[in-house]
Structures are given as structure tokens and as C-alpha cells.
């Protein structure tokens, strides 16, 4: 895809209220080729897509075809954008949140006041709109040990999980790789994330298990999902290497097997497609991915 945009840049634009669209005209939304694919199947959990991966498609247009291509949700949009999804009968499986984004997160005490103020304002509004999950990030280490970072994150979470609990919302900290995409990010392994969940001890704080990121950091995903699923509140996909289509020639993750493992845990939430399509019509690989991941 020309003019690539990173997830960090796209999400930063969301956080500051900037447009996600890259410079240039918006991509015309044509689903003619997507219509040629089989109708979406019904599986054991629901399907979502991350808006930042489709930056050239305005949210209103993306939502308008969401149901047709098999989506139940479009995620990583702001609280202010939730009415757009509601008009099209779509949920937001993971609401974008937290000032500071990926880099400046909960592992710095100086960020806690701003994060708490944000949650105090946004959580009631998203709950009123019927949405249940908001993303949070550990932040970068900046020299912190894992033990120090865990302690400081727990302190910050102790301030905001009561707000989430009051409104029936779950905060989900994303597991990201620090090897390729997010160097120095602290919550980069499942064991560290699980330790944090155990320390916080709230049903309203869980992990966002990103399959792409954890393939890079850990592998052994099916065993990890089986062992730690009670701490996982949401899943993201992405082909590795490259974070592109799930069914391409150079993609090493066996997504049907991973999806079956998720379903076998009894999970009935959302699986969020978070890959950057490289095909001319980006909705075609998205619909294929939904088919591939329906079990």
C-alpha cells in the first residue's frame, strides 16, 4: 500500500481529534468484488475491525457496509464517534482512550491524573452508549524494571478500575511487541500482563491479546490462550510478518487453529481484525479474514 501509516500515528491522530485520512482524496467505497465472496457465516463470537487500518474510508461509509461484510463492530474509535456506529447497528468492541496513547501510559505516575480525569469523563459516556471495553496501555519502560512498571501501573489502575466497575466497563491493556513495532513498550509479554491482572484483582481489568504481537514476542499462542484466557478480554489479529492479510502466501500464523482455541475457552466476545490490507479493494481481504476466523 502506498503512503503507509503506522498504527501509532493513526491512533495518535484519533487521540488528538485529527482526521485519520492520509493526504489526498478518500478512497471510493466500492464493494463490487466483496459481493462475490460467500455470505458471512455465524460463529461462536462476534467480529470487529479496527478503523485505523482503513484510513482512506470515512467512518460513516465504513459503518454503512459493516454488516454486509460480516462485522458486528468497528473499534478504536473515540467516544464522540460512537453515534455514527449506532446509526448503522454496530457496536464498538474497544473504545479508544487514554491521553498519551501507547508510549506515555500507566507506568508513569505523572500520567495518572490526566488518565483518571479522562476516564471520569469518558467512561460514563461510553457506558450510556452501550459500549463495554476501553483500551489502555502500559507505556514505554524508559529504564523501569518490570517490577517497578508493574507496581506503578497497578497504582494507576487502582484509581480508574472503580470508575469502570461503577459503569459496567472493562479496561483492557494491550499486549504489544517491543521487538519490531513498539520498541521499549512494557506490557510486551503475557506473563507480565497476567501478573498485573492478578495484582489489580478486578474483573474490570483484563488484557487485550494481540495475536500478531504475541506471535512475535512469544509464539506458543494456543497454549497461552488456553492457560490464561480468564485474563483476556479481547483479541486482535494480524498476519505475521508484516501485519497484512491473514491468508497471504507469506503469513505464518494458523488462524483457524488459533480461532478454534479461542472458541473452545468459551469466549463469546469480539475478535478484532487489525491487519493493514494491501489489495486495491481493502474490504475484500477483510471479508475473507472474517470467513477464515469464523468457527
% of the chain with per-residue pLDDT over 70: 85
Residues 193-213: what's their mean pLDDT? 98
Calculate Rg over the CA atoms of the chain: 18
Q: Where are the domains of the chain?
A: 37-292
Three-state DSSP state, 284: helix
Whole-number pLDDT of residue 98? 80
Residue 75 CA, distance from chain mean position: 7
Query: How high is the pLDDT of residue 14?
Result: 44
The answer to which of 37-41, 122-126, 244-248 has the lowest mean pLDDT is: 37-41
Question: What are the pLDDT digits (tens) for 78-104?
Answer: 999 999 999 999 999 999 978 899 999
Q: Which of 25-34, 48-57, 92-101, 149-158 has the lowest mean pLDDT?
A: 25-34
- CA distance linking residue 173 with residue 97, whole number of Å: 11
Cell numbers representing residue 101 in the block: 496513547
pLDDT at 179 over 90: yes
Q: Which pLDDT does position 250 carry in this prediction? A: 87
* 48 in Cβ contact with 62 (< 8 Å): no
Res. 31: pLDDT tops 50: no
Report the top-level CATH class of 37-292. alpha beta
pLDDT in tens, 263-277: 999 999 999 999 999
Reported as a single tens digit per residue, the pLDDT across 8-21 is 555 444 444 433 33
Taking only the tens place, the pLDDT of each residue in 112-123 is: 999 999 999 999
pLDDT at residue 43, as a whole number: 64
Q: Is the pLDDT of residue 25 over 90?
A: no
Can you give the pTM of this predicted structure?
Answer: 0.87
- C-alpha closest to that of 138 among 146, 129, 126, 130: 146
The pLDDT, as a whole number, for residue 4 is: 44
Q: Checking phi first, is residue 70 left (phi over 0); if not, alpha (psi -120 to 50) or beta?
A: left
In sign, the C-alpha dihedral spanning 184, 188, 191, 192 is positive
Strand partners, 236: 210, 272
- Mean pLDDT for 162-174 is 98
Strand order in the sheet with 205-210: 73-75, 46-50, 270-273, 232-236, 205-210, 170-174, 133-136
**pLDDT higher than 50, residue 226:** yes
As a whole number, the mean pLDDT across the chain is: 89
Residue pair 67/40 in contact (Cβ under 8 Å)? The answer is no
Amino acid at each position: 500500500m502506498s503512503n503507509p501509516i503506522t498504527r501509532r500515528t493513526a491512533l495518535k491522530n484519533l487521540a488528538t481529534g485529527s482526521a485519520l485520512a492520509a493526504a489526498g482524496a478518500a478512497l471510493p467505497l466500492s464493494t463490487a468484488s466483496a459481493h462475490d465472496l460467500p455470505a458471512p457465516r455465524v460463529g461462536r463470537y462476534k467480529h470487529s475491525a479496527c478503523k485505523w487500518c482503513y484510513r482512506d474510508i470515512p467512518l460513516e461509509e465504513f459503518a454503512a457496509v459493516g454488516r454486509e461484510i460480516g462485522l458486528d463492530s468497528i473499534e478504536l474509535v473515540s467516544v464522540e464517534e460512537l453515534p455514527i456506529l449506532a446509526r448503522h447497528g454496530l457496536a464498538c468492541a474497544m473504545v479508544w482512550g487514554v491521553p498519551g496513547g501507547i508510549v506515555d501510559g500507566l507506568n508513569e505516575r505523572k500520567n495518572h491524573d490526566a488518565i483518571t480525569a479522562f476516564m471520569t469523563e469518558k467512561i460514563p459516556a461510553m457506558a450510556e452508549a452501550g459500549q463495554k471495553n476501553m483500551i489502555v496501555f502500559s507505556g514505554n519502560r524508559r529504564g523501569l524494571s518490570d517490577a517497578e512498571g508493574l507496581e506503578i501501573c497497578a497504582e494507576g489502575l487502582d484509581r480508574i478500575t472503580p470508575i469502570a466497575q461503577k459503569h459496567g466497563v472493562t479496561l483492557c491493556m494491550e499486549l504489544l511487541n517491543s521487538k519490531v513495532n513498539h520498541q521499549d513498550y512494557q506490557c510486551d509479554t503475557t506473563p507480565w500482563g497476567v501478573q498485573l491482572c492478578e495484582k489489580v484483582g478486578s474483573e474490570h481489568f483484563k488484557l487485550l491479546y494481540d495475536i500478531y504481537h504475541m506471535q512475535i514476542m512469544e509464539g506458543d499462542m494456543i497454549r497461552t490462550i488456553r492457560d490464561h484466557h480468564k485474563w483476556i478480554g479481547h483479541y486482535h489479529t494480524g498476519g505475521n510478518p508484516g501485519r497484512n492479510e491473514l491468508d497471504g502466501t507469506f503469513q505464518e500464523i494458523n488462524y483457524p487453529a488459533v480461532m478454534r482455541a479461542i472458541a473452545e475457552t468459551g469466549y463469546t466476545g469480539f475478535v478484532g481484525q487489525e491487519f493493514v490490507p494491501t489489495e486495491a479493494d481493502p474490504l475484500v481481504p477483510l471479508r475473507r479474514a472474517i470467513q477464515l476466523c469464523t468457527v
